[in-house]
């Protein structure tokens, strides 16, 4: 029997927040105050927070060596419901070729993230950006090696915790089952924009008018998950999947033409939670500003908490 949404919701675990925090922690982390306030206001919601000073842990005077980053990440990590994960990437050509970053380089970046823990910032695992969405370039072995390294290297488990968090970001669908088989905590298998092309690409927007993207839920609430995501990844992988939606402004065009209102935000987030998706994020603009409504960080965390409790 095909499970109904109701039975799925009853058996699913909570949908976490996966926050790509690509904003600089200006004012000694003061720029992140709205995120800290939302963490405090929603203690039952777990937030995996991606820390990314410079497409990785950062060079000299960056990242943990920058007092502003050190202060900002220390303050965030002090929240019991925040799990900080450090970004690394597998590509040397901006994502064109995946898994061509020399293994020694990417593991050196992962070890560098472990030094943040020695400096007092509780990094709990790794976000692997520019992860593969097909099996070319021996990527399955590369990702298996990396995942095993992160989860079992004693110097890493001593710092990240007994079971370090591992998240892959191919940024979209493709051939993902070989990667789900490696048992990462999450794969970002749908990352897209809500608004129509004609309104994409403003200040701080993550959408570009030149991109071709799945206008999120353009066929109605839950349609991007039901019609694009699940047919590709298989519904059984929902709990290990993250759905990230940015550019929540204006309207999403034919056919449903939903408007970016608070009421629609609630419906869309409920639609994600009811489908048993492991983690999500909605934002009005891109990953560098989190206070613009309607999908401000405070409101998104509040709505997600409520949807989990429903």
Ligand X SMILES: *[C@@H]1O[C@H](CO)[C@@H](O)[C@H](O)[C@H]1NC(C)=O
Piece of the chain touching ligand X by CB under 6 A; list 28-36, 61-69, 100-108, 162-170:
100-108
Please, what is the end-to-end C-alpha distance for the chain in angstroms? 24
CB of 138 to ligand X, least distance (A): 4
By beta-carbon proximity to ligand X, the closer residue of 142 and 216 is: 142
| Binders in 43-82 for ligand X, by CB under 6 A | none
Contacts of 100 (CB under 8 A, 6+ apart): 90, 91, 92, 93, 137
CB of 92 to ligand X, least distance (A): 4
By beta-carbon proximity to ligand X, the closer residue of 55 and 81 is: 55
| Binders in 126-145 for ligand X, by CB under 6 A | 138, 141-142, 145
CB of 301 to ligand X, least distance (A): 26
CB of 231 to ligand X, least distance (A): 25
By beta-carbon proximity to ligand X, the closer residue of 108 and 309 is: 108
Contacts of 34 (CB under 8 A, 6+ apart): 290, 291, 296, 297, 298
By beta-carbon proximity to ligand X, the closer residue of 137 and 235 is: 137
Piece of the chain touching ligand X by CB under 6 A; list 15-23, 43-51, 97-105, 126-134:
97-105
229 within 8 A of 189, measured Cβ to Cβ = yes
CB of 162 to ligand X, least distance (A): 23
Piece of the chain touching ligand X by CB under 6 A; list 101-109, 166-174, 211-219, 281-289:
101-109
Which uninterrupted H or E stretch holds 308?
A: helix 297-309
Site for ligand X contains 152 (CB under 6 A): no
By beta-carbon proximity to ligand X, the closer residue of 48 and 199 is: 199
Q: How many CA atoms lie less than 13 Å away from 198 in the CB half-sphere?
A: 5
By beta-carbon proximity to ligand X, the closer residue of 92 and 223 is: 92
CB of 145 to ligand X, least distance (A): 4
280 within 8 A of 15, measured Cβ to Cβ = yes
Q: Which of 3, 67, 93, 103 binds ligand X (CB under 6 A)?
A: 103
CB of 148 to ligand X, least distance (A): 8
Which letter, b or e, does each residue of 295-304 get, where b requires 16 or more Cβ atoms within 10 Å of its Cβ? bbbbbbbbbb
Q: Which of 105, 177, 183, 208 binds ligand X (CB under 6 A)?
A: 105
Cβ neighbour number for residue 196 with a 10 Å cutoff:
19
Which letter, b or e, does each residue of 147-186 get, where b requires 16 or more Cβ atoms within 10 Å of its Cβ? bebbbebeebeebbeeebbbbbbbbbbebbeebbebebbb
Which residue shows structure tokens 């056919």? 255
Q: Site for ligand X (CB under 6 A): how many residues?
A: 14
37 within 8 A of 301, measured Cβ to Cβ = no
- Could you check whether the bond before residue 294 is cis, i.e. omega within 30 degrees of 0? yes
156 within 8 A of 124, measured Cβ to Cβ = no
| Binders in 251-290 for ligand X, by CB under 6 A | 251, 253-254, 257, 259
Site for ligand X contains 220 (CB under 6 A): no
Query: How many angstroms separate the CA atoms of 17 and 82, rounded?
Result: 9
Write out the residues near ligand X by the rule CB under 6 A. 92, 101-103, 105, 138, 141-142, 145, 251, 253-254, 257, 259
């Amino acid at each position: 029997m095909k499970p109904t949404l109701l039975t799925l919701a009853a058996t699913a675990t909570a949908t976490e927040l996966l926050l790509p925090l690509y904003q600089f922690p200006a004012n000694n982390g003061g720029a992140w105050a709205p995120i800290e306030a939302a963490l405090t206001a929603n203690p039952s919601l777990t937030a995996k927070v991606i820390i990314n000073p410079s497409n990785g842990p950062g060079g000299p005077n960056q990242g943990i060596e920058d007092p502003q980053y050190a202060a900002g990440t220390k303050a965030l990590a002090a929240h019991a419901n925040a799990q900080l994960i450090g970004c690394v990437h597998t590509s040397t050509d901006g994502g064109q070729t995946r898994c061509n970053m020399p293994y020694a380089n990417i593991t050196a970046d992962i070890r560098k993230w472990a030094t943040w823990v020695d400096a007092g910032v509780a990094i709990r695992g790794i976000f692997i950006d520019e992860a593969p969405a097909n099996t070319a370039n021996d990527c399955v072995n590369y990702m298996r090696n990396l995942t095993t390294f992160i989860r079992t290297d004693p110097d890493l488990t001593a710092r990240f915790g007994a079971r370090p968090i591992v998240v892959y970001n191919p940024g979209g669908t493709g051939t993902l089952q070989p990667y789900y088989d490696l048992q990462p905590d999450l794969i970002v298998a749908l990352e897209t924009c809500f608004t129509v092309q004609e309104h994409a690409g403003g200040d701080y927007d993550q959408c570009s008018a030149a991109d071709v993207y799945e206008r999120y839920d353009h066929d109605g609430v839950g349609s991007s998950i039901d019609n694009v995501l699940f047919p590709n990844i298989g519904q059984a992988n929902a709990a290990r999947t993250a759905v990230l939606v940015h550019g929540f402004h204006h309207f999403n065009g034919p056919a449903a033409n939903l408007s970016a209102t608070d009421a629609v935000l609630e419906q869309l987030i409920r639609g994600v939670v009811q489908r048993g998706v492991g983690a999500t994020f909605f934002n009005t603009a891109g990953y560098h500003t989190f206070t613009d409504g309607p999908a401000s960080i405070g409101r998104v965390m509040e709505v997600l908490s409520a949807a989990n409790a429903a």
